Amino acid sequence: MSLTKQFQDKTPEELLELMHTDVAALALEGAESLKKFKNAGCILFINMGIKIDKILSRDMISDIDGEVTKLALYWGFDNPQRLYDWRTTALAFCPLVEDKNGKRYDTSQVKALMADGGFEFEHFKHLARIGAKKRKTLIKQTLKHSWSANDLSREIAGSGVQPSNVRGGGRPPQIPTTAAQFISKSYRDAQKLSNFFEAAHPAVSDLFSKLPTDKADESFIERIVDARAQCEAASAAAMAMEAELSLAQEHVEQIVANTLASGIKE
């Protein structure tokens, strides 16, 4: 049975009882905002995405899919994908920054594109599903040609860019500030991922052969598709990183060679 079917017959009060306490608090707050601004556009959805991410990023929330499904149903949505879209879009356009008041999500780009380019939430949603480099190009083109959200969607489809429907989560990672730190982190993280895949690979067929029939549904298939897409994205990112490190190695080797040559001359 899918999570939606599992919870869809519950009353709002019963859904609140089943939620994690922090999610229940957001449910009440969000319901009031959505009711008050029923026809509100982009900035409300971005702000809700930020609030969803703040709560779901906490280690105490273990069943993320279950909590999001209950939250969606409480707010009157049959499909939790809308909430995942809010969260993914907010993370793509609202980086976490730190100032004198502490850490916050920077919504300045969203507000600027809404004011200068008439962007709607659908614009941001389509753009959040593609890579950052291509996203910048399409933002410029959208502003230049005054594309509607549908125009933008057709452009993405026609350009061969493969949008990702992976349920995004987590904040952008902190990038080390020195080359030495970067190499150490790259080695540790790559080793951790590689070790997991090598150890887990033999167990896949056994685990799925034991899958209970009541767990096999369309929702679970969707999660498998998401996991496969994430593995494919990780593979592509790893190959691109390896190529960059190869160039970095050549650069360092040249520095060493130049240093040695300089020492010999002296």
Provide the pLDDT for residue 39. Answer: 43
> For the segment 11-32, what is each residue's pLDDT rounded down to a tens digit?
888 888 999 988 989 988 888 7
- For residues 101 and 7, what is the distance between their CA atoms, to the nearest angstrom? 40
| Banded pLDDT at 214 (limits 50, 70, 90) | confident
> For the segment 117-174, what is each residue's pLDDT rounded down to a tens digit?
889 899 999 999 888 888 999 999 999 998 988 889 888 887 756 555 545 555 556 7
Helices 42-56 and 64-74 meet at what angle, rounded to 10? 140
Tell me the β-bridge partners of 105: 96
**Structure token digits, residue 221:** 């298939």
> For the segment 65-91, what is each residue's pLDDT rounded down to a tens digit?
888 999 999 988 888 888 999 999 999
- Taking 90 as the threshold, does the pLDDT of residue 260 lie above it? no
> For the segment 37-51, what is each residue's pLDDT rounded down to a tens digit?
544 578 889 999 999
Please work out, in degrees rounded to the nearest 5, the angle formed at the alpha carbon of residue 16 by the alpha carbons of 10 and 7: 30
**Structure token digits, residue 69:** 């499904």
**Mean pLDDT of all residues in 186-199:** 87
Instruction: Give percent helix, percent strand, percent coil of the chain, each to the nearest 5.
Output: 70, 5, 25
Strand 96-99 to 102-105 pairing: antiparallel
